Amino acid sequence: MNSLVKSQEIKIQLNQLCAVWGIEPSNIHPEGKIILEESDLSYEYPSKEDRDNHIHKVLVLIANRLRKRSTKENKVAFQDGWEENLKLCLESGVSIQNLKPKYLRPYDLIRGKEDYICPKDPNILDKLYSLLILQSAFTYFRNVNVVYEFGCGTGQYLYQLNRIFPEMEMAGLDWVDSSQKILKLIHDKYPNITGKKFDMLNPDHNFKLVPESGILTVGALEQVGSQFRPFLNYLLSQKPKIVVHHEPIEEFYQQDNLYDYLAYQYHTSRGYLSGYLTELKKLEKKGQLKILRTQRFPFGDPFHESGSLIVWMPV
């Protein structure tokens, strides 16, 4: 048994997950049901001592991370990170396991809906994210012509989406070469998936999106901090049919309680996405876009929540 665990076992409820998409459990895609059937959703709460020790750890991390990584340092880090996955794919082929980024680690303790929890399956967060993104795509991309994932990294989510949209054209865009080399390997296996180099901080407006397209970002805007406006302007000018984000959203944290306040402070200390939802709401009031859904995802790694949902469309 997990050494952190001190309380009675509970299970993550299916209705908690369905609330993110606003659907009934009966509407979960069959591939999502497979993920659920193969996952152990049970968890327990940590003891008071273990909870306090974790809070202390978070506070120390916040205090020690005063210097944010520069854009150049960030680019090098992602080039090197995806290089590791590229090597695995070249050695033993493209697979879900070889596309999984190294930062998706197993955790003995994660963020639950209202407090820290200790999952029985230390990899449950990765599985929940896969389910989250697969179901969001099924809900919002069924009637688009092409799916573009910006900041696609290893292309792992496009690879998974191919299971529900095997005939749909999909493109993975990222700013480092190692990512695009992986996308080439994916394309060799699934020709409907292609890649293109694209910098979200300096968008190429000559790259035109196919009409009636769907846009996906998964933890990609996280890295741009407050410098999201160039990419947002690009999307507004291209007028895709729908935009789906799974990102850390600082506006969702309630800073009048310790649990959320710690996540907010960690988020800001890392220089993650800042002010994006607030800006979308301003643009909606100006009639430039329509927000279709905003939903906090009630699970996250030990430090913050990176999978919350925002769905919008240009007007």
pLDDT in 10s for each residue of the chain, 315 residues: 444 545 577 988 888 888 888 888 888 999 999 998 889 999 999 999 999 999 999 999 998 865 577 888 889 999 999 999 999 999 999 999 999 998 889 999 999 988 999 999 999 999 999 999 999 999 999 999 999 999 999 999 999 999 999 999 999 999 999 999 999 999 999 999 999 999 999 999 999 999 999 999 999 999 999 999 999 999 999 999 999 999 999 999 999 999 999 999 999 999 999 999 999 999 999 999 999 999 999 899 999 999 999 999 999
Give the Cβ contact number of residue 311 at 10 Å. 19
C-alpha triplet 265, 270, 274: angle, nearest 5°: 75
DSSP line for 68-115: PPPHHHHHHHHHHHHHHHHHHHHHH---HHHHS-TT----SSEE-SSS
Cα atoms in the 13 Å half-sphere on the side-chain side of 111: 23
3-state secondary structure of 313: strand
Which residues are 242's β-sheet partners? 214
**What's the CATH superfamily of 65-108+121-314?**
Vaccinia Virus protein VP39 (3.40.50.150)
User: What is the rounded distance in angstroms from the CA atom of residue 230 to the CA atom of residue 268?
Assistant: 21
Question: The sheet that has 289-295: what strands, in order across it?
Answer: 193-197, 169-174, 146-150, 214-218, 242-247, 308-314, 289-295
Q: Which two tokens stand for residue 173?
A: 């865009």
Alpha helices in the chain (DSSP H): 14-21, 30-37, 48-64, 71-92, 96-99, 124-140, 156-161, 177-189, 229-238, 258-269, 276-285
Q: What is the pTM of this model?
A: 0.94
User: What is the rounded distance in angstroms from the CA atom of residue 110 to the CA atom of residue 96?
Assistant: 23
DSSP line for 168-193: SEEEEEESSHHHHHHHHHHHHH-TTE
